[in-house]
Every structure is written in structure tokens, then in C-alpha cells.
């Protein structure tokens, strides 16, 4: 690491960045799952789900970039391989092609997991007095809470 002086001590920066790495891994895994489901969804709700999944993975593509850049801003290398993401992520990959209703359930759980991961990272950022990371994580949490809610309403 190079010398960095942004008002956050080294320990706080590193702890926050380590949490952000987990958030990045969860977000990237969810992005990949959502893109996979976009490609492979079938059934009577194909068009609606296909378009919704596209909206979701497009939003996640921007998010992973923002999270990775925040990690770099804290002067910590961002993970960037499938191996690292698999090790860090709380979201597990899905084998095969689930039914469209299973896809919705899997993605709902994925978004809920990102919310839980965000809550943990938010605590780290707040403890480090890192308002920029806290704001990023809080925004991510709000988006994933809303997306999970919208996905849950599909089965009502």
C-alpha cells in the first residue's frame, strides 16, 4: 500500500475494504446469476422476467464497478477472479437451469443476502468513520431491499 491520508486510520481502511470485498463478491455472484437467468428463463412470464432480469443485472454491473473502485480508493487491491469471488461470496452458484419460479426465489434470497452483507459492512464503515463507504453501502442496501421486495411480490 502507498501512503494515503484521507482521515481514516489504516486499520479502519483495511477492515472496511475487507468487508467491501465480501460485498463485491456477493454482488458479482448475484450479477452473474441474474445474467444467467436472463439468458435461460422460460415459461409464460418469459418476457416480463427476461426484461426485469436485464434491468437487475445492468444495475448490478454498475454497482460492482463502484464497489471495486471504493476498495481501490481505500488503497486496497480489489478481488477480480472467479476463485476469489467464490471464496468471499455468501451466495452460492446454482447448477443447471431452474424453473422461472425457482429463479425468482433464488434471486430474492440473493438480494436479501446482499442486504445482510451490506449491514455488516456498514458497521465496519461507521466504526472507521468512513462516511463515503457508509453512503455507498447504505445506497446498495436500499436498492437490494427494494429489489427483493419486488421479487417477493411475484409469488403473491
User: What would the pLDDT profile of 76-97 be if each residue is shown by its tens digit?
Assistant: 999 999 999 999 999 998 999 9
What CATH class does 10-154 carry?
Answer: mainly alpha
Q: Are 22 and 88 in contact (CB under 8 A)?
A: yes
User: What would the pLDDT profile of 1-48 be if each residue is shown by its tens digit?
Assistant: 458 878 888 899 999 999 999 999 999 999 999 999 999 999 999 999
Q: Which residues contact 52 (CB under 8 A, 6 or more apart)?
A: none
Amino acid at each position: 500500500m502507498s501512503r494515503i491520508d484521507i482521515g481514516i486510520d489504516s486499520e479502519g481502511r483495511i477492515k472496511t475494504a475487507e468487508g467491501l470485498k465480501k460485498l463485491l463478491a456477493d454482488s458479482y455472484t448475484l450479477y452473474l446469476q441474474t445474467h444467467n437467468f436472463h439468458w435461460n428463463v422460460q415459461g409464460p412470464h418469459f418476457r416480463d422476467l427476461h426484461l426485469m432480469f436485464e434491468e437487475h443485472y445492468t444495475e448490478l454491473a454498475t454497482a460492482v464497478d463502484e464497489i471495486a473502485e471504493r476498495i481501490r480508493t481505500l488503497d486496497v487491491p480489489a478481488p477480480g477472479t472467479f476463485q476469489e469471488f467464490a471464496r468471499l461470496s455468501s451466495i452460492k452458484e446454482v447448477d443447471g437451469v431452474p424453473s422461472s419460479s425457482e429463479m425468482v426465489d433464488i434471486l430474492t434470497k440473493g438480494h436479501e443476502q446482499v442486504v445482510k452483507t451490506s449491514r455488516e459492512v456498514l458497521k465496519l464503515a461507521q466504526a472507521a468513520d468512513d462516511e463515503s463507504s457508509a453512503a455507498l453501502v447504505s445506497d446498495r442496501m436500499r436498492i437490494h431491499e427494494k429489489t427483493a421486495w419486488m421479487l417477493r411480490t411475484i409469488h403473491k
